[in-house]
A = this chain, B = another copy of it.
Amino acid sequence: MTGAATDAMFRALADPTRRAIFERLASGGEANVHALTHGSGVSQPAISKHLGQLARAGLVRGRRDGRETFYGVEPEGVAPLYDWMRHYTAFWNDRLGRLEDLLKRMDQ
């Protein structure tokens, strides 16, 4: 039905702590686990678990550097969200479809 990727993504984004992590990485760029833990209100293991879920959903990616791991957003990871919106809501389908047509015409 809805595809495993879509499911994982929606579930990953359902938790406010995880959304906060994603939003921070999206706005501020890469950060290591230590930095993400600081001021998050939860423990380091909690952050690591959230990062794991976000990574499994394709929303972030970890880059190991020595004893640190730097995480950053995976921009393409949000695509299922776009597709879902496009596919299942007539309103946004019209709107986004019209926009996509325009873009296509511009590129020609």
Binding site for B on A (CB under 8 A): 1-2, 7, 10-11, 13-14, 16, 19-20, 22-23, 26-27, 73, 75-76, 78, 81-82, 85, 88-92, 96, 98-100, 102-103, 106
Q: Is the CB of A2 within 8 A of B26?
A: no
Q: Least Cβ distance of A105 to chain B in Å? A: 9
Q: Is the CB of B16 within 8 A of A14?
A: no
Cα-based distance from A90 to B102 in the complex (angstroms): 20
Cα-based distance from A76 to B85 in the complex (angstroms): 12
Cα-based distance from A44 to B19 in the complex (angstroms): 32
Chain B residue at minimal CB-CB distance from A20: B1
Quickly give the copy total for this chain: 2
Q: Least Cβ distance of A46 to chain B in Å? A: 17
Q: Is the CB of A14 within 8 A of B23?
A: no
- Per a CB cutoff under 8 Å, which of B7, B16, B92 touches A2? B16
Cα-based distance from A19 to B7 in the complex (angstroms): 9
Known contacts A75-B89, A75-B90; A23/B2 CB under 8 A: yes
Cα-based distance from A2 to B92 in the complex (angstroms): 22
